[in-house]
A and B are shown apart, each in its own frame.
Chain A
Amino acid sequence: MFKVIRDLLRYNVEFLAGFTLTLMVLIFAAAHFWTPYPGYNLYLLPPDLPPSGEHWFGTTSRGQDVLWQLSEAVWNTMAFGLTVTILSRLIAISVGMVSGYLGGRADRILMSINDTFIALPNIPILLLVYFVLREQMTWPLLAVCAALLGWTYDSRLIRSVSMSLRTREFTRHGVFSGMSTWRILVREHLPYVLPIIFFTAMNNLIWAISLEVTLSVLGFTDINRPTIGGMIYWANQHQAIISGIWWWIAFPILAIVLLFLGLFLLAMSVNEYVDPRSRLDRMGGVA
């Protein structure tokens, strides 16, 4: 795995760019551990200051420093996204691999469930959950709900890889030498599925972060916890654009665009790595 990453960094410009961008955003987010202005505190500073040497990104109408607020917001948004991604990967991997390997009835049942979840409209259901729970709605709970809705496309993709592995020689060897199904899946098949998992994880992360932004912008999360969507929610509440406090909205947008661009480039280049035909293409139009 590390060797693959090293090779990609060395030979794939997009991967390098995506990796650097994502890393920069992560370092920026990690900086909030040393924040002089904790995110929940309001009116620590004079409000509505434009960007200056002292407050690089200016201050909000709520008397917060935009730079440090944003740092904590990116961290929280990433934490949410990663939680959703990891949880939904666990479901997608188990359903996809088991379904693809076992085939037959198990496959039919699992894929029926899968298709049902694909067809369910995510946002109305999440909003219904939020609406019913209101104050009890914490972000870990929201992450679990999102994860339960976010695995479906990817498990289909993983299944298709698993199906092709099932008929391969080495699987038959494994079965005949008495390996358990579990061992075959984890030891033999998982390595082949890993690149797909990584690729889908990036897309899922983008999806989860967009979801956080969507819900928070509407005010349907714990809005006092600094997140990217939460910052925009408060900026909207104070009509930041109309009153000309552009830095309150511009910097969160910039941060999320850079993060998405980074993740997107990572996903793209890994996808290319997974698909050998486009790799050949890159090497000089052989294909």
Chain B
Amino acid sequence: MSSLTAYILKRLAQFVFVIFTGVTLAFLITNLSPVDPVEQSLTQLTSFGASDPRAVEMMRESLTELYGLQGNLLEQYLNFWGRVLHADFGPSLSAFPTPVTTLIANAAPWTIGLLLTSILITFVLGNLIGALAGYFRNSKLLKLLGIAIMTINPVPHYFIGLILLIVLGYVFPIFPISGGARMNMESGLNWAYIQSVLYHGFLPAFSLVLAGLGGWFIGMRSLVSNVVTDDYVIYAELAGVKRRKIFSQYVARNAMLPQLTGLAMQLGQIFGGTVIVEFLFNYPGMGRLLIQGIYRGDYSLVLGVTTISIFAVAVAVLLIDILYPLIDPRVKLG
């Protein structure tokens, strides 16, 4: 067996293990708690004014089945797995009878779009500035930029978002303060709609970029300043290789590798970081869906979003891990 196959097999095993642990954890949290989820949900539901007794009874059945409350713990557990693998989390309680999966399918593109864009922008920008600052250490402009980035870095992204919202949303109402696109707008691949999406996504994305820049910048700058003193770089400088070539081919390329691991981890956490930003900007993604689920006591929705996010994260990490050997040939040997 080649070492690359071994590597991929190992990653696949890891993937299965993550899914297994995550789903088991979700099961344990919901099933070993002292609260009876079915009754709790039904109380919540009736307090929201669902008066149709048929719906309530149907809900009780569906909930009992969903939380796998039939049979002993092992049967319940296996039942839960069946549900998860069929991606069937039953109807949402707060938006009855829409299935949870439909709600998630509507929300997921917003979250993925917002986060993928802002993470990639942050990654490229932070690493580029960081690498330049590490290589051209005497540049005044880069030093100034570095100080600015470092000052913003420790500010939690909730506050960055809040400040942006106050300044660019209320004081100078340049950007919309909530939503993913203009209300009552037909979604589709026309320019007006895309424009509206970009316009609404700008502030949330901007706050994510500002909040994330510092980490990449600091990491890359210190990585580059370490690589710069390596023998082969000094040798290249003495041999008269162009500085631009040294920077892009020798220094940045080698310093990139640990950063890519970081990117994988960040993509892995794609879900956690967005809850507060989506809440703040009322952005129609999975984070807001999760919060709404909690506010409305929607058990199946909360469980569904959590489980799906565990899957999403595991897939993201797996993909990056499998792509990794293409970038870093050393992985194959390890």
Contact = CB atoms under 8 A, between A and B. Distances in A.
Interface of A: 112, 115-116, 118-125, 127-134, 136, 153, 206, 209-210, 213-214, 217-218, 220, 241-242, 249, 253, 256-257, 260-261, 263-264, 268, 275, 277-278, 281, 287
B68 to A, nearest CB: 14
Nearest to B272: A123
Contact of B306 (A124, A249, A275): A124
Given A122-B269, A131-B302, A264 B153 contact: yes
A46 B45 CA distance: 39
Interface string B218-257: 1000100110010000000000000000000000000000
Interface in B149-177: 151, 153-156, 158-159, 162-163, 166, 170
Contacts of A133: 33, 35
A132 B29 contact: yes
B176 to A, nearest CB: 16
Nearest to A115: B14
Contacts of A260: 154-156
B108 interface: no
A28 B42 CA distance: 46
B319 interface: no
B22 interface: yes
A278 B225 contact: yes
Interface of A is mostly: helix
Contacts of B93: none
Contacts of A122: 269, 272
Given A119-B313, A120-B310, A257-B159, A128 B275 contact: no
A260 B299 CA distance: 35
A128 B18 contact: no
A58 to B, nearest CB: 17
Interface of B: 14, 17-18, 21-22, 25-26, 29-30, 33-35, 37, 151, 153-156, 158-159, 162-163, 166, 170, 218, 222, 225-226, 229, 265, 268-269, 271-273, 275-276, 279, 290-291, 293-294, 299, 302-303, 305-306, 309-310, 313-314, 317
B302 A257 contact: no
Given A214-B276, A218-B279, A121 B154 contact: no
A132 B22 CA distance: 16
Contacts of A287: 229
Contact of B294 (A127, A209, A275, A277): A127
B306 A127 contact: yes
- In the complex, the 7 A-B pairs of residues with the closest C-beta atoms, listed nearest first: A260-B154, A123-B272, A264-B154, A132-B33, A121-B271, A124-B306, A119-B18
A125 B229 contact: no
Contact of B22 (A112, A120, A277): A120
24 contacts: A112-B14, A115-B14, A115-B18, A118-B268, A119-B18, A119-B317, A120-B313, A121-B306, A121-B309, A123-B271, A124-B272, A127-B291, A131-B293, A131-B294, A133-B33, A134-B35, A206-B154, A210-B158, A214-B276, A218-B291, A256-B156, A257-B154, A277-B226, A287-B229
B268 A213 contact: no
A173 B201 CA distance: 60
Given A121-B309, A257-B154, A287-B229, A129 B34 contact: no
A124 B18 contact: no
A220 B292 CA distance: 12
A128 B306 contact: yes
B158 A213 contact: yes
A214 B30 CA distance: 22
